[in-house]
Amino acid sequence: MSSLNEIKELWKIANAVTFDVDSTVIQEEGIDELAKFCGKGNEVSNLTKQAMQGCMTFDQSLNVRLNIIKPTKTQIMKFLDEHPPKLTPGIRDLITALHARKKEVFLVSGGFRCLIRPVAEKLNIPIENIFANSLKFYFTEEYAGFNENELTSKSGGKAEVIKRLKEEKGFKTVVHVGDGATDLEACPPADAFIGFGGNIVRDVVKSRALWFVNDFNELIEALDEITNV
């Protein structure tokens, strides 16, 4: 991608838009909040920062963090009940605007499907449009690991999701929006990447994203802008 105007044009004509979830669609990092809830907050938040800055592979980080938290099924259910997702300001209006223009919206996250489902429901995004990780539990409801076959459980997973979406659904133009290093990896195969810093600014993303926004209203307004390419 050679210019900001070209990215803005792709944003307008995109058939599908894929969003990261943590610190993008919602204001928090879901795994950090779950860790706090389980009494493991400080240990896990430091690892999350390293992962988002690209200091370790995502699957390494996910495995280490989950082995620290070891959430039980009961803890997950209680967390969901007591800690509803905090949507980022403007995201509801943005998703509504994209749907009104017949663009399909997907949530592509290295987080957990069980935590992201309530987010999708709030935004009227079909559950089948969630690509995320799955936790496993023993019959005693103790933590048993995560599904390593999920595409998003490893580095490069978001790119693989977008590649498959293009192949299987025939999308000609896909734009990805996110805040972290794993989001940068998604372009290509995404046709364009938009960096988001409304909740946290990650230097590696801001320095490499040709279009970096801090407010979703900028993306809403850009849907109808006239651009010269």
Give the tokens for residue 143. Answer: 């933590």
Residue 171 is inside which H or E element, if any?
none
Establish whether 215 is a catalytic residue. Answer: no
Per-residue DSSP letters for 50-112?
A: HHHTTSS-HHHHHHHHHHHH---HHHHHHHHHH----BPTTHHHHHHHHHHTT-EEEEEEEEE
Q: CA 152 to CA 29: how far, in whole Å?
A: 16
Q: List the catalytic residue out of 22, 32, 59, 191.
A: 22
Q: List the catalytic residue out of 20, 32, 59, 191.
A: 20
Establish whether 20 is a catalytic residue. Answer: yes
Q: CA 210 to CA 226: how far, in whole Å?
A: 18
Active-site residue list: 20, 22
